[in-house]
């Protein structure tokens, strides 16, 4: 299914800060998936449509915002580097958030098993430890393929 990326944080496309991507990869010792790089370099700070995804068989949520690398301080709440610094205080530094949900939970790359092929996990901010981490998909591409529209709309 084709994904449309709608403006969310800003009224127009904002490419500010994308030059930080290689430094972030080097600092964290990871390599972002090519599919992610293709999307973030055009759509940071936007919201996908379709946006609904399932975690397991029972839990459904929404991919709300694709985090950005912009220096826009008014929107730090969706800055990937800031969210990463906050998240790594309680989780591995090999878990990299790339998006959120309306309930402020994190959608993350999980590089703990591989520096090049991260799984996608979901972190529930109201829980702690292993209880808060839920497996979503084996890859970023698989995650995007999971997104669907609400059939009642």
Sign, Cα dihedral of 145, 12, 97, 20: positive
Dump pLDDT digits (tens) for 65-110: 999 999 999 999 999 999 999 999 899 999 999 999 999 999 999 9
Q: Are 111 and 118 in contact (CB under 8 A)?
A: yes
With respect to residue 153, please indicate whether it lies within any of the assigned structural domains: no
Domain count of the fold of the chain: 1
Beta partners for residue 96, in sequence order: 109
Q: Are 61 and 101 in contact (CB under 8 A)?
A: yes
With respect to residue 17, please indicate whether it lies within any of the assigned structural domains: yes
With respect to residue 151, please indicate whether it lies within any of the assigned structural domains: no
What domain range is 114 assigned to? 4-146
With respect to residue 152, please indicate whether it lies within any of the assigned structural domains: no
Q: What is the pLDDT of residue 13?
A: 93
Q: Are 147 and 48 in contact (CB under 8 A)?
A: yes
Q: What is the pLDDT of residue 57?
A: 86
Beta partners for residue 6, in sequence order: 47
With respect to residue 23, please indicate whether it lies within any of the assigned structural domains: yes
With respect to residue 108, please indicate whether it lies within any of the assigned structural domains: yes
Q: What is the pLDDT of residue 153?
A: 45
User: Residue 47's closest CA among 86, 78, 81, 87?
Assistant: 78
CATH number assigned to the domain comprising residue 138: 3.40.1580.10
Both tokens assigned to 76 = 């730090």
Determine the Cα–Cα distance for residues 84 and 91; give it in Å rounded to an integer: 10
**Given a cut of 70, is residue 152 above it in pLDDT?**
no
What's the whole-number average pLDDT of the chain? 94
**Residue count (the chain):** 153
| The overall pTM is greater than 0.75 | yes
């Amino acid at each position: 299914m084709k994904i449309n990326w709608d403006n969310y944080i800003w009224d127009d496309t904002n490419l500010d800060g994308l030059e930080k991507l290689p430094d972030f990869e080097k600092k964290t010792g990871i390599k972002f998936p090519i599919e992610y790089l293709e999307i973030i370099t055009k759509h940071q700070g936007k919201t996908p449509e379709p946006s609904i995804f399932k975690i397991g068989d029972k839990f459904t949520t929404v991919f709300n915002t694709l985090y950005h690398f912009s220096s826009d301080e008014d929107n730090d709440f969706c800055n990937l580097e800031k969210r990463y610094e906050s998240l790594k205080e309680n989780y591995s530094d090999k878990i990299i958030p790339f998006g959120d949900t309306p309930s402020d939970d994190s959608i993350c790359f999980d590089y703990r098993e591989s520096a090049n092929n991260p799984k996608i996990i979901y972190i529930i901010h109201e829980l702690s430890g292993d209880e808060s981490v839920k497996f979503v998909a084996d890859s970023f591409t698989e995650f995007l393929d999971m997104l669907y529209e609400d059939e009642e709309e």
